[in-house]
DNA sequence: CAATTATGAAACAAATAAAGTTACATGAAA
DNA sequence: TTTCATGTAACTTTATTTGTTTCATAATTG
């Protein structure tokens, strides 16, 4: 299966927008994210429609985050992408006549529901601010490591 | 044909084998499962290699379950299929240099691990015997319903 | 107001992966 | 020795995601 990586793409883009400080164009984002400007627009479109980001045309235009990072959960973003299915396996047939296949589907459906619940619970609890802090922590750690170990004259 | 449905296919086939009582050919299974004999062989191959099922060539040959249903967990079967990834979303890049993308990956990786754990826990706890009972329960319920509501002269 | 720069969106092409199909070799039973 | 069944490789079809081209629209700049 070709797996959906839009959530990964969008999160990466959003945090670069935050780091940039001013509106960032689709072309600039595309370079950061090693993809295409049209892919950026297409992927951000859902977030724009929900008011998570803002886009502006013309000179000085581009993308900005429209809310405080702490008020955007990863679940909000997932929903803005149209809630693509996060499960990698499916039933051969969704409404089979066969009693055996029905029983198999019941069991696998229940498993998928549990996995979706685990996904939603975690994604609801995490905001962009959390990831942003995680970036900062690692950056500081890296900086301190270099400071403690540098061998310059 | 988008998501992997081999687990669904294999479970359906195994329980038909159980119901059949004698060796069942790939062609017979393919009819039950609305697929192709080669798909059946290909999908069952991993289970044969692990000793969950047995296959016999020639007249009277076909597939049989090699162990008591209660001793085959759904996780055993999943592993026999080569442990295909059960998650439907992925990272854009697996080992990025960008600190931001690394932080995004850490978060999504952790979420996927939780989902995989939920999958494995459930699949480990369920055996073919459980599904088989579920089939029987529904069959009996259906039979009783018909008995209580029939309107024959 | 015209040139430039940006998004919006449709349409199309490439890449990937699962499922289906064909073909044939191998082995077991009648 | 013929028939039936699995084992496997190679190829085709279909579904889905991602990438690309193209052009319309809007906002800013000179």
Residue A1 pLDDT > 60, yes or no?
A: no
Nucleotides of chain D touched by protein CB (<7 A): 3-10, 13-22, 25-29
pLDDT for residue A150: 65
So what's the pLDDT on residue B68? 97
Say how far apart CA B104 and CA A10 lie, in whole Å.
10
Interface of A with B in 89-108 (CB under 8 A): 89-93, 98-108
Q: Is the pLDDT of residue A68 over 80?
A: yes
**Using one digit for the tens of pLDDT, what is the confidence trace for A23-48?**
999 999 999 999 999 999 999 999 99
- pLDDT class for B1, splitting at 50, 70, 90? low
Check whether residue A62 has its CB closer than 7 Å to nucleic acid strand C: yes
**CB–CB contact B99 A138 (8 Å):** yes
Q: What is the band of B41 on the pLDDT scale with cuts at 50, 70, 90?
A: very high
pLDDT of amino acid B90: 96
Q: What average pLDDT does range B38-48 have in this prediction? A: 97
DSSP string, chain A: -PPB-HHHHHHHHHHHHHHH-S-B-HHHHHHHHTS-HHHHHHHHHHHHHTTSEEEE-STT-EEEE-S-GGG-BHHHHHHHTT----BSB--S-SS-S-HHHHHHHHHHHHHHHHHHHHHHHHHHH-BHHHHHHHHHHHHHHHHHHHHHH----
% chain B with pLDDT above 90: 88
Which candidate from A9, A86, A134 shows the least CB-CB separation from B88? A86
pLDDT-derived band at B146 (thresholds 50, 70, 90) equals low
Please give the domain boundaries of chain B with CATH numbers for all domains.
Answer: 6-149 (1.10.10.10)
Kindly report which listed range (B1-10, B13-22, B29-38) carries the lowest average pLDDT score: B1-10
- Asked if A88 lies within 8 A of B91 by C-beta distance, the reply is no
Nearest to B15 among A5, A100, A117 (CB): A100
**What is the average pLDDT value for chain A, to the nearest integer?**
93
pLDDT tens per residue, range B61-79? 999 999 999 999 999 999 9
Write the Ramachandran bin of A87: left for phi over 0, alpha for psi from -120 to 50, otherwise beta: beta
Give the closest-approach CA distance of A12 to chain B in angstroms: 5
Residue of A nearest to B140 (CA): A99
At A145 the pLDDT is 66
What is the pLDDT, as a whole number, of residue A146? 59
Asked if strand C comes closer than 7 Å to A25 Cβ, the answer is: yes
Q: How far apart are CA B93 and CA B81, in angstroms?
A: 26
CA–CA distance, B144 with A36 (Å, rounded to integer): 61
Residue A153 has pLDDT above 60, yes or no: no
Task: Give the mean model confidence (pLDDT) for residues A99-116.
Answer: 97
pLDDT digit string, tens, across residues B75-94: 999 999 999 999 999 999 99
Q: Chain-wide mean pLDDT for chain B?
A: 93
């Amino acid at each position: 299966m070709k797996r959906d990586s839009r959530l990964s793409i969008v999160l990466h883009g959003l945090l670069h927008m935050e780091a940039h400080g001013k509106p960032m164009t689709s072309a600039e984002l595309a370079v950061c994210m090693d993809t295409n400007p049209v892919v950026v627009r297409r992927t951000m479109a859902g977030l724009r429609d929900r008011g998570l980001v803002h886009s502006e045309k013309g000179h000085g235009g581009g993308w900005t985050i429209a809310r405080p990072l702490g008020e955007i959960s990863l679940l909000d973003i997932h929903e803005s992408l149209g809630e693509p299915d996060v499960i990698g396996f499916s039933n051969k047939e969704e409404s089979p006549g066969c009693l055996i296949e029905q029983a198999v589907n019941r069991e696998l459906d229940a498993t998928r529901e549990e996995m979706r619940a685990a996904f939603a619970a975690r994604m609801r609890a995490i905001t962009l601010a959390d990831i942003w802090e995680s970036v900062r922590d690692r950056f500081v750690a890296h900086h301190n490591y270099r400071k403690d170990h540098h061998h310059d004259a």
